[in-house]
Structure 1
Amino acid sequence: MNEKLKDYLTDTLPLQADWVVKLEEMALAENVPIMDKAGINLVMQLIRISRPHRILEIGTAIGYSALRMLEAAPDASIVTIEKDEHRYAQAMEHIRELNKEQQIEVIYGDALDKLQQLSENGSTFDLLFIDAAKGQYQRFFELAEPMLNPNGMIISDNVLFRGFVANPEDVPKRYTKMVEKIRSYNQMLMSHPDFTTSIIPIGDGVAVSYKKS
């Protein structure tokens, strides 16, 4: 996205609560890849519209997006998975500070394993938010999608990955395989018979996939 346009969108957003600013500043200082401000604003608006009761997040990091999603749906319950022990501990701390541990369950472990366990336990969700290892997006989708209720939604972040998906000839060698996987994931979403998908060029690219009834 054009930087001036990105700055404009960010500048139009309302002032945020102190805890939001604190987490955003922490993420910047510690180089934690949280969703950008305009992107999370879009996610929150989608949540306000769709009113999910149960949300599954893949990739907790410091708890920022889980807490923002709960802000948009105060009566919802959220299950979120994080495999980095340090980030898991930080997320737990932030969730406890805001007294949200009754609504946000943080699972420590590899999402590929934990998603299988959730499925075996009969868990179901109204919204899935995928924001973890980009090279695993398709596998995350395959494991989580059966748990998504009809008329549910899957939101996938970073699907344009710095614009490289549109310019594969310009991709640095270290990102070649990842970009190939993201392009494949995007194509799968757009052609999936059970979903209708729009890819929105906000932040690093957000795919919004609606599961048909």
Structure 2
Amino acid sequence: MDLNSKLLELKNICINNNIPIIRDNTLDLILNWIKNNDIYSILEIGTAYGYSSLAFSMNEKINFIETIEKNFNNYKIAIDFISPLKIEKLNLLNIDAFEYETNKKFDLIFIDGPKSNQIKLFNKYLHFLSDNGVIFIDNLYLNKIRNIPEESKTNSQKNIIKKVDEFVNYLKSQKSWKFELIDIDDGVGIVKKYE
């Protein structure tokens, strides 16, 4: 079975259903990081339809991926699409990110989940990171919302921007890890613990 064609099929399903997916440059950035570092396991927060986790699973270096999705309908579509592919190293879970628990440590954590409480989410997931691991955080620019004229933004949109800005400032202010905001796509944060 050609996984590349299945990945493209899933990408088109996401696009046709207006399901946000990881952008190409962000995916390339993460895949290059995997290639050049000791990355063998991934935890993803925010499965959606499973596009990014399927893309990560195609990397031969990766031996385990756990991906979590709160929305049951998204999870069901992801399971229905990915299960027939029989990718044993890919584990999909239908659970709220704030309720997830594990004894595992992951080399890479990809956060593309809820934007409203990211500081709490980040601090929870930091405990699941291996000593030399890295956290990627997608969509820190929120350009789609920021580009709406100020008078047209809803209170909810203004609040999300405020929360994400607070999160970025929090990441910049901490001394126990290195934070870098990469200017690609919709802004990608990279967090590494200081050795």
The TM-score normalised by the length of structure 1 is 0.82
- Which residues of structure 1 form unaligned runs of 5+? 1-15
Instruction: Map residues 67-82 of structure 1 onto 2, 5 A cutoff.
Output: 67-82=54-69
Residue 171 of structure 1: CA displacement? 7.7
The TM-score normalised by the length of structure 2 is 0.89
- Cα distance between partner residues in 1 of 2:147 and 2:123: 24
Q: Provide, for residues 95-114 of structure 1, a one-character-per-residue CA deviation record: whole Å limited to 9, x for no partner.
A: 223221x2111111111011
Instruction: Map residues 145-160 of structure 1 onto 2, 5 A cutoff.
Output: 145-160=126-141
Identity across aligned pairs (percent)?
28
- From 175, 185, 195, the equivalent of 2:157 is 175
Q: Provide, for residues 74-123 of structure 1, a one-character-per-residue CA deviation record: whole Å limited to 9, x for no partner.
A: 442011111111111121122223221x2111111111011xx22xxx22
Question: Do structure 1's residue 184 and structure 2's residue 160 form an aligned pair?
Answer: no
Counting helix residues as a fraction of each chain, which structure ranks higher?
Answer: 1
Residue pair 1:127, 1:153 contacting (<8 A) in 2 also:
yes
Residue pair 2:109, 2:135 contacting (<8 A) in 1 also:
yes
Question: Do structure 1's residue 200 and structure 2's residue 187 form an aligned pair?
Answer: no
Number of aligned residue pairs = 192
- Cα distance between partner residues in 2 of 1:127 and 1:95: 21
- From 76, 93, 97, the equivalent of 2:84 is 97
Relative distance call for 1:209 and 1:165 in structure 2 (3 A) is: farther
Question: Do structure 1's residue 51 and structure 2's residue 38 form an aligned pair?
Answer: yes
- Cα distance between partner residues in 2 of 1:146 and 1:79: 15
Amino acid of the structure 2 residue aligned with 1:183? D
Counterpart of 1:40 in structure 2 is 27
- Secondary structure of the residue aligned to 1:20 is helix
Coordinate RMSD, CA, aligned: 2.2
- Which residues of structure 2 form unaligned runs of 5+? none
Residue pair 2:171, 2:179 contacting (<8 A) in 1 also:
yes
